[in-house]
Structure 1
Amino acid sequence: MKLNKSASRVMDILTILSSANEPLSVSELSRELKAPKSSTFEILTTMVVKGFLEFDEVQKTYKPGIKLFEVGTSYLNNTDLTKEVRPYLESLVKATGETAFLAIPIDEDIVYLDKVEAPSSIRTTATLGMRLPMYLTGLGKALLAAYPDQKVEEIMLNKNFTPMTSNTISDYESLKVNLEQIRQRGYAIDNREREEDVFCIAVPIWDYSNQPIAAISIAGLATRMTEKSAKEYVVYLTDVAMSLSKRFGYKYDQLFRIE
């Protein structure tokens, strides 16, 4: 299959900018693209005119524009999964007073599809559309623990475990031990593994083909997450995840099946 080079570079530019989390110059982008600066500049100029990028005249840098947000929001609004899960996230926030998340697996990562924040809850850095490695979050580990060992190995065996905090899982063997704990416990935990002050509890959602298709979580301030409140949140999360899974045709009565 022959790909259009210009169209591919547009997609690559959007991917690079979304991953960088900061504006980049034409020189930086052309270097990342391994493309001539002149042709990169032409593509960037077109994307600015169309509203998909914004150009900072002072810093001479580019960042995602409002049009990209509109397109992304339209996608999220038209995703059946997001529509189905949103009321459940709202119920979790109402019951716990903490922030609730929905994420799906994409290749070797998770992507945040939805977030409902409680006024009194901690504000995390996770944003809609953000893509993160699975080992780094409760959501990702909930999905990994739902996968067969062979699939986990395919995804994670040669993964570079980049630490975000002193609590980040740092190698594959440690991850395997953690995943087995999740399966036995019945839920995943992110105890300040991606953000220093955030504690997260997560579980998977299954579908009619008995495949884990997403994960939901509750995130709050680590210092406020007592053993008692965590146990209560697990009950809420498990009930919601099981209700959603049954709604999507899941036939089992456990979120983690020990083979």
Structure 2
Amino acid sequence: MKLNKSASRVMDILTILSIAKEPLSVSQLSRELNAPKSSTFEILTTMVVKGFLEFDDIAKTYKPGIKLFEVGTSYFNNTDLTKEARPYLEGLVKKTGETVFLATASDGDVVYLDKVESPSSIRTTATLGMRNPMYLTGLGKAFLAAYSDQKVAEIMSERSFIPVTSNTIKDYDSLMANLKQIRQRGYSIDNEENEKDVFCIAAPIWDYTNQPIAAISIAGLASRMTEKGTKEYAVYLIDAALNLSKRLGYQYDQLFRDN
């Protein structure tokens, strides 16, 4: 396959500037591209005119322009979350043999968007479109741990802690202590807190604005989710959540950046 040299250099320039810690000059960019300064300057000038780059006339440097942001935002706005997430859910089922869920947040609840089961996986009561309070589930607690403490307080100010099982979180202080553990650990745990005999681990999904927009979980029988198995599954879970987040534009290498 023959590539157009000028088009390739445009893509290379965008890539270089997107990861650079500061604006770059035409000389710096020509060296990075291993291309003549004159032809590099022509491409840069065109990109400035089209709005994909901004030029600082005093420092004589270039940085990404607003048009690039508009084009990137359009891509993410037209991304189907469930479609993008499905391969990651299927991959987790293949690796673990357990049920995997995708959920989003709505008014202090989690809403189930998708689930994938294997023939040997547990059958839970959760169905697509079903809602559950955030404090009850691994998915919900993954969201809450991703939020600021202030936002958690606002959400829980309109909620009562209603016990569903003997393991359900019973008060605000216990919830906040649990969220602190989640941020340090990198994933949430639901140890029969919403459903008897069901053990879940979950992690948040972030988008290009660095906001949590979804969460994924692995659910299995509590009796077979050993500490070793949980840690093994957590590696798969965090990897899937982080890779999906990056596909949606997230720019960090940790799901919880303060941990």
TM-score (norm 1): 0.69
CA drift at 1:157: 3.0
1:147 and 2:152 correspond = no
1:216 and 2:178 correspond = no
Distance 1:118 1:171 in 2: 35
CA offset digits 1:109-166 (Å, max 9, x no partner) = 1100000011111100000000010000000000000001111111013411111100
Provide the residue aligned with 2:206 in structure 1: 206
Checking the alignment, whether the CA contact within 8 Å between 1:189 and 1:202 is kept in structure 2 is: yes
Q: State the AA in 2 paired with 1:165.
A: T
Provide the residue aligned with 2:32 in structure 1: none
Structure 2 runs not aligned, ≥5 long: 1-77
CA drift at 1:79: 7.8
Provide the residue aligned with 1:256 in structure 2: 256
**Matched residues, number:** 182
Distance 2:124 2:141 in 1: 18
Where does 1:103-252 land on structure 2 (aligned, <5 Å)? Answer: 103-252=103-252
1:88 and 2:88 correspond = yes
CA drift at 1:253: 1.0
Checking the alignment, whether the CA contact within 8 Å between 1:146 and 1:257 is kept in structure 2 is: no
Where does 1:18-29 land on structure 2 (aligned, <5 Å)? Answer: none
Q: State the AA in 2 paired with 1:143.
A: F
2:205 aligns to what SS in structure 1? strand
CA drift at 1:257: 2.1
2:169 aligns to what SS in structure 1? coil
Distance 1:246 1:186 in 2: 16
Distance 1:256 1:153 in 2: 19
Checking the alignment, whether the CA contact within 8 Å between 1:157 and 1:172 is kept in structure 2 is: no
Structure 1 runs not aligned, ≥5 long: 1-77
Distance 1:246 1:121 in 2: 28
Distance 1:132 1:122 in 2: 19
**CA RMSD, Structure 1 to Structure 2 (Å):** 1.3
Q: State the AA in 2 paired with 1:150.
A: Q
Q: State the AA in 2 paired with 1:232.
A: E
CA drift at 1:227: 1.1
Distance 2:173 2:103 in 1: 25
Distance 1:149 1:130 in 2: 26
CA drift at 1:258: 1.6
Distance 2:257 2:203 in 1: 13
Distance 2:170 2:79 in 1: 34
Distance 2:164 2:225 in 1: 21
TM-score (norm 2): 0.69
Moved over 3 A (4+): none
Q: State the AA in 2 paired with 1:205.
A: I
1:195 aligns to what SS in structure 2? coil
Provide the residue aligned with 1:59 in structure 2: none
Provide the residue aligned with 1:40 in structure 2: none
Where does 1:41-60 land on structure 2 (aligned, <5 Å)? Answer: none
Distance 1:185 1:87 in 2: 25
Checking the alignment, whether the CA contact within 8 Å between 1:192 and 1:198 is kept in structure 2 is: yes
Distance 1:79 1:136 in 2: 29
